[in-house]
Structure 1
Amino acid sequence: MLNREVLTREGNFINDPYIQHHQTQSVFCLPLLNQSKLIGVLYLENQLATGAFTPEQSQILSLLSMQAAIAIENAKLYSKLRDGKSQINQILEAVQVGIGVLDATGRPYYVNQRGIELLGKGIDPAATPDHLAEVYQVYLAGTDQNCSPEDMPIVRALKGECTRTDDLEIHQGETIIPIEAWGTPVFDEQGKVAYAIVAFQDITERKKAENLLANYNRTLEQQVAQRTAALQQSEAELRGREQELRLITDALPALISYVDANRCYQFINHTHEVWFSRNRNEILGKSVHELLGETVYQRFEPSINQVFKGQTVTLEAEIPSSLGRHCINATLIPDFDRNAQVRGFYSLITDISDRKRAEEASILEERNHMAREIHDTLAQAFTGIMIELP
């Protein structure tokens, strides 16, 4: 407590403009504390008399200041709580998901604006947990049957369960709104359910998309089934043609085969089995190099390299077999894919050993004939010379 005499003679406030202007006679200042925290300051002044604030008054003001500090702090907390509640309400009203709340007795307590739009009505105080589905026209999806209380997410939340479902509908006259709903209990400090909250949203567009997807999948399954049947028929026809082709090629004395890009046999006829004394399964999948051997493969390799460059190649060579050595004539024909890349080649090999032997015999006979003619000519010439000699 300060008085006018002290203010005007000494201290930090003797030249204070406010004190000089208002001619303050007595001043009383007191901090407002709550749990040692400064909440504010109590300031009192008297412009009529000095010593206006006595020690007894100071004690009373000190007691009042503590109560004032508590009241101010409570007011601030209440203001914050009210502001927080207002913000929560604003958020709940702004979200595009329906929100409904039941109190612990099961009575409707709160519905946000989106919930009112989806339900077609707001809070109905007369509604009870057993009749919520009837009051708000909640049905099992695809039926005319009201959802039972046991299946209502918010009723189950009253029992302490967290649930989710997407097989419910809200009927508003002729309008049917499919919804997805979540039920969540809110517990108090004793672990009892204080509130039950349900969040629900319109899933009309999702259901449409699911129906479109289901229809598409059914159509796709039908197309796949039809395509599978067609492929099976084609495969059966192809197997039939392959069987016919195999019967034809197996009857031919020539070696007929197909070699893939890895230079491995994918098709051979029966003549291969005879020549190499191996069954079909022992040859298919093996490389040309493995079947022919190193020496013979080296003769064929340049021609194979040419055919993989897209050229048709014809060559003659001698190769061994289980029946002996054979002179062969081979034609290698490239097999192109849709991108004009060589993916393998067809091979047609014929045995020309007899022809070669005939040619060799013919050449030998011709040589012998020429030798006889030369011998006869020389013999005649020699005889004539002997006759003319004396």
Structure 2
Amino acid sequence: MFSLVGAGLARAESDRPLVVGSEVGFPPYAEIDESGQPTGFAVELFAAVAKVMDISVTFRTGPWDSIWQGLKSGELDALPLAAHLDEREGQVEFTRPHTIGYDSFFVRKGRSPVPSIGQARALSIIVLRSDAAHHALVSRGFTHQLVFVDSLTDGFRLLASGQHDAVLGPRLQGDRLVEASGLSAIIEAGPPLKDYRREFCFAVRKGDTRLRDRLDQGLAIVMASGEYDRLYGKWLGIYETPTFPVKYVAWGTGVIAVLLALLGLWTRQLRRQVALRTAELARAVASTQAERQRLNDVLQALPVSVVLLSQDYRVVFANRFFEERYGKARNRRCYEYLFGRCAPCETCETYTVLKSGAPVDWEWTAPDGQDYQIHDFPFPDNEGASMIMEVGIDITEMNRAKQALREANASLEQRVAARTAELEAARREAEEARDLLRVTMDNAPALMSYIDADCRYRRVNGAYERWFGHGSEQVRGRHVREVLGDSAWRVIAPYAERALAGERVAFEISVPYAEGGMRWCHATYSPDLDAAGRVRGFVAHVLDVTERKQAEEGLREADRRKDEFLAMLAHELRNPLAPISNAVQIMRRLGTMDSKLQWTRDVIDRQVEHLTRLVDDLLDVSRISRGKIELKREPLELAEIVQRAVETSRPLIDARRHQFAIHLPPQPVHVEGDLVRLAQAVSNLLNNAAKYTDEGGQISLSLESSDSDVVIRVRDTGRGIDPVQASSLFDLFYQVDRTLDRAEGGLGIGLCLVKRLVAMHGGEIWVLSEGRGQGSEFGIRLPRLRGSRPFIVGSVHAGSGERQVSYPGPSSLEKSDYKSGT
């Protein structure tokens, strides 16, 4: 069985009761009883609706203008009686009308009645401030002739005193107030106005549509239950026109009995009364039909289903909400058109209402899958037969929301459980990490500590006890000065201040500890910042490097003595070389025909020259190491450096019959440096290429330039270099072939000397080789001199883009290509 009710949406207001404004002096809709409590039709109707919807309310009385402003300002939550006017749209929220009223112009007796608003333009009219009559007149252009009062009673007293022409107000309330004020002999009401009518509604604060909808639902329930009719009869029925003119019938009967002769007059009078009664009944029927139509309109417009069922399961009435979903249902049995059954549903709870006579609340899922909450209650028809009124609300979306909430709660619980497990695992991991950190710190050889912003120890490792004899508990909380001593604190205090300023500090310094004496320490202070970026303290890591410092000092002393020894050795070796060279030259001048003596003289001459070069290189390395070499810097053209280097290395290149090529750029390129030293560096590279390339090999020297630097490349097709050895090739005394029977000899100082000379000129050197037997390439990069005056050696052929540089000897550089050998 289908039924719908809105118990689920009408929940109790748990925070506070609604504050409802009740007008004073507007009987029978709203007034104050003898005990000072609000009463009247609208007040009791609102209370009945609130009870049905389980809403707690409290009433606050006052003049109409006061409570109307209170509702608009938000001081009040609702009003039980407010006329729905176009002028009030947008100021508050109105429910559907619960009563219809008409206004009349009240005038002093003896004056002509005012049947319409248009005929009152010349009159001085009294109206209730902010009332519907006030808005109706203002909207029609009435302004200067209006007189405002705070209650209709005050208005009627002004009219009775002869002031002003009329009072415009509701007919029903006006009649009662005139009678209650004792002014019925002075004031009378004109005919009801057809210009407008009052549609009395409940009103709530602007935007509170939820409360408006709940009041609409409750009003529908109260109307359907019969409570509305009871309240209407109690307050408004007594003011309706009497149902039958009894006094006139009694008078007519007496006349007939006493004066039969006046039969004609009685007949005429009776016809008149019948006509009046017929007109009254017609008006009553029309009014009843209008009220029925208004009630039907309200039920049809409700956002809930309202269904009236007879005892034989037929639908007597179904509103629009129901029929839009399930089709026309009137006079059809509910189990037939809803379920296609031939008999009533066994599980239907609706018809238990007929047995128990009490309302039933339950939930039901319709054939279309929609969920409803049902409110069934007994309802008598016009003949007293029992029927069932069903009112319900679609709670499908609410159930879905509840299901989604349950699923979300279940998911949240799972996530909380998973997160709890993760946090527990993280806690155990943190404890393990903390224990591991403590063990690591306590067994570390370095001092490790945390020092707060006041320079007091908060945590130290076991090394403090090994260094100073103080345990962790003895050090914790004490100032650094107390633990290390004043002298040590004066040394490290500036670094601590920098760390507390947010800077990470690393330094090596000699510290005079109060306990432990002077020690060289390598220390790192790392600041600790809070979430706001403020320094809370710093972590100190201090390592004793005293032994390393002593070793470094010993190495420096040994290196100094080595340099002195090399210098002394070079000088001592050079002294006998000059006499030997002179003796060879004397022997060459004296001449001899003995071939053995000539061979011996040439061997001595070559070896003396070789020894001289070795000694010169050794002296240069010694001078560079001791900073004894001063460069004579001047603007130089690279071609001049190349010329000087080739002159030095040409004899060795020619002797080994190598093919030698030089490639120069078409325009002069300049650097700043010492001509002798740069030529020495390039010559050393050429000599190495000539020595370590088998006879008849190929050697090339090329120059490249860019905006910022120049590159000199020396390539050969010689023995090549193992890439593993390339990084050590420029070390002092390093030799690729360390066997005693090396064919080329050498002390391993040439490339070291080249590297140091190039570095003194702000350049760099490198070597490339694909391995043994693959040849090698040495490169020198030097800063290019910009904006200097060209220093040209040789000549440039105009328009050719090729350069010719002349060199003494059997070869020359033709078209950027110099070749030597066979």
Structure with more strand by fraction:
1
When normalised by structure 1's length, the TM-score is 0.47
Q: Work out which structure has the larger RCO, using CA pairs closer than 8 Å and 6 or more positions apart in sequence.
A: 2
When normalised by structure 2's length, the TM-score is 0.26
| Larger CA Rg, structure 1 vs 2 | 2
